[in-house]
Amino acid sequence: MNRVDGKIAIVTGGARGLGAASAHRLAEAGARIVLTDQRAELGEETAQAIIAAGGEAIFAPHDAASEDDWSRIVALAKSHFGGIDVLVNNAGIGTGGRIDKMALEDWRHLMSINMEGVFLGMKHAIPELRERAHLWEGGGSIINISSIMGFIGDVGSTAYCASKGGVRIGTKAAALECAKLGFNIRVNSVHPGYIETEGLQSAMRAIARSSGDEAKEAARQDMIKATPIGRLGRPGDIANGVLFLASDDSSFITGTELVIDGGYLAQ
């Protein structure tokens, strides 16, 4: 039996990268997927790829910072598949800059997606998760994608680190609320390290444009050296963690962090 057979999952930011990998992995394990993203063409392609592989998925355009959009996405999951069992709050952006140079509107834009999007997802999904929580040993599951930068700081990343730290501690508070109010919903965060995604590749291309290919390769090697396991992560590494937290295998786990970083934070 597949590990999430019959479960219905919303995966935000699912057009590519960690979201797409998580959507594919959940679908392979039996979940029905509501895939959302602002990039409609890429999102539709990902949903069609899941269907072509034998899974069930629909795509809907979605601004994670919009409360109206969240109402629409939750209603779509209910009308199309019958409800929600798993929410993967993956949508996020990684823009940064020096704190003394960052415009307030840029700070607020990042927070609106990375933090407010997670809040809105939980707010609107929890009532529906409660409706079906009795069907599963582990109840409903909310999985908030944070980062190793939710534990540590980095130069030029104050806004990003603040947002991911907020997701981390907000996850704990939400987990306690859901548990102590008897909602039968688990809430956990996932903290990726350096992962081979399009976002990382874009950053490498930016380094190459500004400083040349040698600087790009040096930056890549620095990330590998900083990862004790000796390689960058793959999207599938994160997707496997998401599947575990979505499944009833993690039925006694809530309010905690699943760090998937090749040992980076152990140093």
What is the C-alpha separation between 247 and 36, in angstroms, rounded? 21
Exposure of 43 in the CB half-sphere (CA atoms within 13 A)? 21
Name the phi and psi angles at 53, rounded to 5.
Answer: -85, 5
Q: Are 78 and 67 spatial neighbours (Cβ–Cβ below 8 Å)?
A: no
- Residues designated as active site: 160
Crossing angle of helices 104-114/116-132, nearest 10°? 10
Q: What is the CA radius of gyration of the chain?
A: 18
Q: Are 24 and 239 spatial neighbours (Cβ–Cβ below 8 Å)?
A: yes
Q: Are 129 and 140 spatial neighbours (Cβ–Cβ below 8 Å)?
A: yes
